[in-house]
Amino acid sequence: MTMKDVQDLRGLEELCESLSEGSPERKKLEKLILDRKRELKGQAEALQAVVDLCDKAALPLGAAVPGAVSILVSAGLLDDPRKIWFALSSVAGGLLWAIFRVLAYRVAISARLELAQIGKVD
């Protein structure tokens, strides 16, 4: 959903208000507005689902990277010095955790703002 979608919706609402009460055109336009609001709300809720996924994946992903590297080191697939590999993997895991948390935060704010701009949907 973009600002243009919200602006188009506002334009339709203004046009609807300018039509006479009870006219067939107004009823059709009200139905179109409601359908469009429901569609936009669905898109915003889908964004919130992505946020939940990123939020729930952040910590396990951050913890899995050092564990995977320590398994590779213990299996002998990575050369010594083991401490450097483990330290680098811990930093990489922490960075992935932070990136997913920031991504989840930014998308959550965006989705909530879009829902607020749409307003209440019946």
pLDDT in tens, 85-117: 666 777 777 788 788 888 878 877 877 777 777
60-80 confidence digits (pLDDT tens)? 766 777 777 777 777 776 666
Own/partner long-range contacts of 101-109 (Cβ < 8 Å, ≥24 apart): 101/54, 101/55, 101/58, 103/54, 104/51, 104/52, 104/54, 104/55, 104/58, 107/47, 107/50, 107/51, 107/54, 108/48, 108/51
7-45 confidence digits (pLDDT tens)? 777 788 888 888 888 888 888 888 888 888 888 888 877
Q: Output the pTM of the full model.
A: 0.56
Task: State how far the alpha carbon of 21 is from the alpha carbons of 16, 24, 32, in Å.
Answer: 9, 9, 16
